[in-house]
Amino acid sequence: MRNTLLQLVLLSAVFVLPAISGCSSWRPWQAYPESKSKASIAPKPLGIFGAKPDTRQAQIDLLIASAEQAEAKREDPEAMKKYQEVLAMDRKNTTAHHRLALISIRLSASEQAKKHFEAALEVSPSDDSILADYAYWHYLSGRNQDAMHWVDQGLKKSPHFQRYHNIKGLAQARQRQFEPAVASFLASGCNQQEAWANIGHVLLLDGDVQSAEYWIGHAAQSDQGSQVAKKTHKVIQASYESTQPQAPIAR
């Protein structure tokens, strides 16, 4: 019972940390795009010699900008409506499919997410950001083999794309392949302490608190230690103390 309580306390604490680790492995995908300025959605000027602009493309650009603003305000239904209007005009619009996939994930609509990811990749199979998001979604959904498959596909064509190495490290850590996981995190741009911290957080979120404490404790050591690991390590220690039975008060 105490272990269950400890895990719940730790999970709630980890999720409020700003970035979950010191390098990009645990940074979420572009969940909400930054709101664009009004200038970015202003009508484009006439072309050379006063040629008429492409009004259809201009309308699509305005819809996408409006949808991104809605996302930035956490107005997912409105954003979804705008992106769907884009697809009504251009059914192969990669941006609309990609963003609809991410919105669908936030709304727990897995089938819709899969549909839009596949549509985006059909149009833009070489887009590393879309493929990495697709692989990461599989990882978060507990489908390690699928995540590794898509990461390996991405690494074949873009071996230096760091997010692929990030996601591969997460999947390897979940499978307890710790040495390969550290190597993948280092390839993604993490330092040694950040790599250890990532492994610790994977184990923590999988419920293996004891093993997580080992990795996070190592990651938190020295002045070069991961700042997030240091915070999490303090949470672990405090949580252990809070779950220990209190000694009876002497009377």
- Per domain, the residue ranges of the chain are 29-46+54-124
Report CA 25 to chain centroid distance, whole Å: 8
Do the Cβ atoms of 215 and 197 come closer than 8 Å? Answer: yes
The pLDDT value given to residue 9 = 44
pLDDT in tens, the chain (251 residues): 445 545 544 444 444 333 333 365 444 445 555 544 443 444 555 555 555 667 999 999 999 999 999 999 999 999 999 999 999 999 999 999 999 999 999 999 999 999 999 999 999 999 999 999 999 999 999 999 999 999 999 999 999 999 999 999 999 999 999 999 999 999 999 988 889 989 998 998 888 888 988 898 888 886 655 666 677 666 666 655 555 555 555 55
| SS3 category, 116 | helix
Q: What are phi and psi of 191, to 5 degrees?
A: -90, 180
Tell me what pLDDT residue 224 has.
Answer: 59
> What's residue 22's pLDDT?
38
Indicate yes or no: pTM above 0.85: no
Nearest Cα neighbor of 145 from 184, 115, 171, 117 is 171
Residue 139's SS3 state is: helix
DSSP 20-31: SSSSGGGS----
Radius of gyration of the chain (CA): 22
The pLDDT of residue 47: 54
Q: How far is CA 16 from the centre of its chain?
A: 15
Domain 29-46+54-124: which CATH number of 1.25.40.10, 1.20.120.1230, 2.60.120.560, 3.50.50.60: 1.25.40.10
